[in-house]
Amino acid sequence: MNSMKRRALLSLSAAAPLLATGCALATSHPATPAAAPTALRGTGDLGVVIERAHGALTLVDTSRREAIGRVEGLGDLSHASVVFSRDERFAYVFGRDGGLTQVDLLAQRIAARVLQAGNSIGGAISADGSLVVAQNYQPGGIKIFDAHSLELLADVPALTASGERSRVVGLADLPQRRFIYSLFDAEAICIADCSDPRQPRITQLPGIGRQPYDALLSPSGRHYIAGLFGEDGLAMVDLWDDAPRARRILAGYGRGQQPLPVYKMPHLRGWAVAGRHAYLPAIGRHEVLVVDTDTWQEVGRIPVAGQPVFVMARPDGRQVWVNFSVPDYHRVQVIDTPSRQVVQTLEPGRAVLHMEFTPRGESLWISCRDDNRVQVYDTHTRQLQASLAVDAPSGIFFTARAQRMGF
Amino acid sequence: MNSMKRRALLSLSAAAPLLATGCALATSHPATPAAAPTALRGTGDLGVVIERAHGALTLVDTSRREAIGRVEGLGDLSHASVVFSRDERFAYVFGRDGGLTQVDLLAQRIAARVLQAGNSIGGAISADGSLVVAQNYQPGGIKIFDAHSLELLADVPALTASGERSRVVGLADLPQRRFIYSLFDAEAICIADCSDPRQPRITQLPGIGRQPYDALLSPSGRHYIAGLFGEDGLAMVDLWDDAPRARRILAGYGRGQQPLPVYKMPHLRGWAVAGRHAYLPAIGRHEVLVVDTDTWQEVGRIPVAGQPVFVMARPDGRQVWVNFSVPDYHRVQVIDTPSRQVVQTLEPGRAVLHMEFTPRGESLWISCRDDNRVQVYDTHTRQLQASLAVDAPSGIFFTARAQRMGF
């Protein structure tokens, strides 16, 4: 293990006020006194952009490519993730400070908010839309909420063999009100069956490898893959097996080469699966790895302009877009998947933190934090289509995520 | 060519009043005097069920699994298909009689309606949501409409080499305001570039094979495949090629075996692609064919309970559900894709005409025309979750189609 990697991870868990488990604070109040829109409108083309400095959301319309509103009062969004209700009306925002906020995109206000942990790293929603689950660092575990009321239904501590709390990472929804997640401090992957959400049943797969730090679910929901911080490889679970178990893949992942310093841990959620190949960020190297998802062997490496952070496939799989960690985070590169070549290098702005494709992939929205702009590109012509002023934008999330597994 | 197949096809183009090209009749009127709902609601979990006997739609909510409204006045819906606006508020319904109706799912009324042809077989919408295109049998060709106003922007006749009109089939949207379709009477596939929608540019791929009768676009949008009525095989275009051309695949499709009578032509739209395999209905045989989408070779056949009509993959690809033509259309079978075995046979009702998965695949909705019921199944337990009374239901379409290519 190199210390650079460790430093990068630890920076993820900085800040955040500490709360005891029991003191979840339920509130339900409007945030800004916005004039609540009353005109009917569809929600399939809506999205939110995290304003990381102000704990606010900019609401966007991806058809008109413009901002349509703003919601404040969401706490510390220095690291935040979002899932959407099944009807695509409500966003659930998981903040760094343990805040879980239900935002009504139509009324443009906070519908409900709880401070559910001291330090949280994201969440998930069940396919039927009834349950929202938060994954927490502090205190380590998951919490299960009623998606409509944010009532706490179950608090499930994550425990190491010696009975201490473990941080939880890599939470994803599975079919039938189940959720899968990894325990950073316990070398384990857990599956929580919440068919009775007040009495979840937990199945633990032990010995999966040291320090899983993030994970992803393949688009089909079949493969769950956890990155291992404590060793050179990843843990993979085939969820279609009758008795799922973890096995090690890509053991030569780092190949023992002289590692570069790691400036930012790549997000596994950014893994792109296009056709039968997965494209993933090499840790600390200026490369994107190509992996055959039938054999889970590496079949190629593509040189890129920096240390990749998000490696995202356009929905049709024809292109993969890559952003980078500091000092190369003013660039975005486009890989053509059939030829595995970088076909374009763009400079959309300073401090590119996140990207999101429109559902059919005709546009890509890019957050440029230090320019206070979101840039929208036509993915076919790679021309700028729109430019929105947003204060310190980071994550961008569109409602179409409600229709997909593992988001 | 056997005459049974021909008879099956011809039955598709029966009925329908004949209109001259020029007399498209634009109207814009409310249908039923329904109390227009004014409460805000999301549109990600909405859908429509075609009431084929009454020219009406039942509007449904897939979260509550119930009907929420009804819209009448859509003309002849004995064969109908539906696409959705990008915001998932509006349904565009293409009727058998050439009617194109824009239905507001929130206000629960007709927003606009044109009678645009004498006999129509479906339509498509561009990824940017700006253009709706109808594919017509009579007069043969496509028509391009402004999606907001239904203003006719271009009328593109489809012509044979001798200058006669050809029926158009297999229309699908491609990126960048392009559309692809096949000419039944002209052995051709056309790509219409509508970047200037009043002056579309048509590229024609000739000699693709005799009598393409339907087509599909793969989920990635890469492969366009037309079934050939006039010969034993299919025409496939790889749209990622620099100069796309048609090539013949599955030439042994029917294998010269003694054909069974064909009671209903299978819908190619129903083709299921799960992982690297496609599952398609064998024509006239009690089999589902398994095709490797890397090689486009047949790699297996699965015996089923009748002549398959729709062969549909659950969004995760783990299951394929199949319905059948008369006399076996009271059954639905479930194929487990890893083992390629039928794992269950259901009898949801009489005259199963169509099926639609919820976006994440937890439920399947099934139309049982002769029981005047739509049955909703949990796809994991295969238990009935809900049963809705709908008059002579046929096609079921959920708004999540707006987020996908080729629908």
- pLDDT tens figures, B219-253: 889 999 998 888 878 999 999 999 999 999 988 66
Residue whose C-alpha is closest to residue A272's, from A316, A239, A240, A306: A316
Tell me whether residues B404 and A87 touch, CB distance under 8 A: no
Contact B129 A42 (CB under 8 A): no
pLDDT band at A389 (very low <50, low <70, confident <90, very high): very high
What is the phi-psi region of residue B387: left when phi exceeds 0, alpha when psi lies from -120 to 50, beta otherwise?
beta
Does B198 have pLDDT greater than 80?
yes
Task: Give the pLDDT confidence of B161-176 residue by residue, as tens digits.
Answer: 899 999 999 999 999 9
Q: Does pLDDT of B13 surpass 50?
A: no
Distance, in angstroms, between A255 CA and closest chain B CA?
30
The pLDDT value given to residue A2 = 36
Integer Cα distance of A143 and A205 in angstroms: 20
> What's the pTM?
0.90
Question: Is B251 strand, coil or helix?
Answer: coil
Q: Is the pLDDT of residue B22 over 50?
A: no
Query: Is residue B265 scored above 80 in pLDDT?
Result: no
Q: What is the mean pLDDT of residues A364-389?
A: 98
pLDDT band with cut points at 50, 70 and 90 for residue B314 = very high
Question: A220, B405: Cβ pair inside 8 Å?
Answer: no
Tokens 């302009």: give the residue.
A305
**Residue A250 has what pLDDT?**
86
A317 neighbourhood in chain B, CB within 8 Å: 220, 222
Chain A residues in contact with B46 (beta carbon < 8 A): 87
Bigger pLDDT: B1 vs B213: B213
Q: How far is B220 from chain A (nearest CA, A)?
A: 4
Q: With contact defined as beta carbons under 8 Å apart, do B122 and B143 qualify?
A: no
pLDDT of residue B304: 97
Q: Provide, rounded to the nearest whole percent, the portion of chain A with pLDDT above 90.
A: 75
Contacts of B405 in chain A (CB under 8 A): 315-316, 360
Q: How far is CA B45 from CA A95, A174, B360, B398, in A?
A: 26, 19, 11, 7
Predicted confidence (pLDDT) at residue A12 exceeds the cutoff of 60? no
pLDDT at B247: 93
Per-residue pLDDT tens digits for A166-222: 999 999 999 999 999 999 999 999 999 999 999 999 999 999 999 998 898 988 899
pLDDT value, residue B273:
81
A252 CB burial (10 A radius; 0-12, 13-18, 19+): exposed
CA distance B261 to chain A (A): 37
Q: Which residues of A367-376 are buried (b: 16+ CB within 10 A; e: fewer)?
A: bbbebbbbbb
A88 with B42: Cβ contact below 8 A: yes
What does the mean pLDDT of chain B come to?
87
**Pair B8, B265: CB distance under 8 Å:** yes
Segment B58-66 mean pLDDT: 98
H/E element, B9:
helix B3-12
A402 interfacial to chain B (CB closer than 8 Å): yes
Residue bearing the bigger pLDDT, B32 or B8? B32
- Nearest-Å Rg of the Cα atoms of chain B is 20
Residues B331-351 as b or e (16 or more Cβ within 10 Å = b): bbbbbebeebebeeebebbeb
Q: How much is the ipTM here?
A: 0.89
Find, in chain B, the residue whose alpha carbon is nearest to that of A337. Answer: B240
User: Model confidence at B23, in pLDDT bands (50, 70, 90)?
Assistant: very low
Contacts of A362 in chain B (CB under 8 A): 127-128, 175-176
Of all residues in chain B, what percent carry a pLDDT higher than 70? Answer: 86
pLDDT greater than 70 at residue B107: yes
Confidence band of B19 (pLDDT split at 50, 70, 90): very low
Q: Which residue has the higher pLDDT, B31 or B374?
A: B374
Average pLDDT for A91-113: 97
- Chain-chain contact of A87 with B63 (C-beta, under 8 angstroms): yes
- Is residue A21 scored above 80 in pLDDT? no
Higher-scoring residue by pLDDT: A261, B317: B317
- CB-based contact, B343 to chain A, within 8 Å: no
Q: Which one is predicted more confidently, B101 or B28?
A: B101
Interface check A338 vs B, CB under 8 A: yes
Report whether pLDDT(B407) > 70: no
Whether A31 shows a pLDDT value over 50: the answer reads no
Three-class secondary structure of residue A386 per DSSP: strand
Given this model, what pLDDT does residue B12 score? 30
CB B361 within 8 A of CB B340: no
Q: Which residue has the tokens 């009917």?
A: A40
A64: closest CA of chain B, how far (Å): 10
Average pLDDT over residues B143-153: 98
Helix, strand, coil percent content, chain B, rounded in steps of 5: 5, 45, 45
Smallest Cα distance from A245 to chain B, Å: 18
Confidence of residue B262 (pLDDT cuts 50, 70, 90): low
- Assess contact for B398 and B47: CB atoms under 8 A: yes
Q: Do B42 and A361 touch (CB under 8 A)?
A: no
Look at residue A112 in the predicted model and tell me its pLDDT. Answer: 97
Interchain contact A221–B (C-beta under 8 A): yes
Chain B, 237 to 276: residues with Cβ < 8 Å from chain A are: 240, 275-276
Confidence of residue A34 (pLDDT cuts 50, 70, 90): very low
Say if residue B180's pLDDT is above 50. Answer: yes
Average pLDDT over residues B139-154: 97
Question: Quick check: A254 pLDDT over 60?
Answer: no
pLDDT above 90 covers a percentage of chain B that reads 75
| Confidence at residue B294, expressed as pLDDT on a 0 to 100 scale | 87
Of A38, A41, A405, which is closest to B316 when you measure between CB atoms?
Answer: A405
Q: What is the mean pLDDT of residues A121-133?
A: 95
Please compute the mean of the pLDDT values over residues B338-361 and round it to a whole number: 97
Burial class (CB in 10 A: 0-12, 13-18, 19+), B25: exposed
Write out the two tokens for A79: 């690291």
Among A30-34, A129-133, B101-105, B108-112, name the one with the lowest average pLDDT.
A30-34
Q: pLDDT at residue B1 above 70?
A: no
> Residue A199: what pLDDT?
98
Residues in chain B: 407
Q: How far apart are CA B329 and CA B318, in angstroms?
A: 23
Mutate which of B46, B360, B363, B399 to disrupt the A interface (most A C-beta within 10 Å)?
B360
Residue-level pLDDT at A231:
82
Residue B2, pLDDT score: 36
Mean pLDDT, all residues of chain A: 87
Query: For the residues B131-142, what does the mean pLDDT come to?
Result: 96
What is the arithmetic mean of pLDDT over B128-146?
96
Output the pLDDT for position A39: 83
Residue A218 Cα, gap to closest chain B Cα (Å):
10
